[in-house]
Homo-oligomer: A and B are copies of this chain.
Amino acid sequence: MPLDPKVADRLKRDAQGLVPAVVQQYDTGEVLMMAWMDDEALHRTLTTGRATYWSRSRRDYWVKGETSGNVQFVRHAALDCDGDTILLKVDQTGGACHTGDRTCFDADVLEVSR
């Protein structure tokens, strides 16, 4: 069974058929990572409760934590006002980043003038 047509109708995909997914820890609010989904990845995510993405480099589906054990249990999912971004609130086991960091945004802080 494919993605619910009512959801598929609202989804705005890029030229590669993908939509960015912002992934946030549901209780602390930390933004953990950003990844990409096609219709099938979103379908699997919504129906299994396990965050599943499309790997643009490997050209394959990827259940987060399948190899690392650092799985993401999905607590909440939403589309934005334009239907072109997904927000997942998850419960992240261990580090979200492949570097071992808790989030993918921990290591490279940029200086802001204000």
Q: Is A63 at the interface (CB under 8 A from chain B)?
A: no
Size of interface on A: residues with Cβ below 8 Å to B: 44
Whole-angstrom distance between the Cβ of A16 and the nearest chain B Cβ: 10
Total copies of this chain within the assembly? 2
Q: Known contacts A31-B22, A31-B24; is A81 also within 8 Å of B110 by CB?
A: no
Contact residues, A18-38 vs B (CB, 8 A): 20, 22, 24, 28-31, 33-34
Interchain CB contact under 8 A, A112 and B49: yes
CB-CB under 8 A for A108 and B29, given A34-B22, A34-B80, A73-B114:
no
User: Using a CB–CB distance below 8 Å, which chain A residues touch chain B?
Assistant: 7, 10, 20, 22, 24, 28-31, 33-34, 45-49, 73-83, 85, 87, 97-99, 101, 104-114
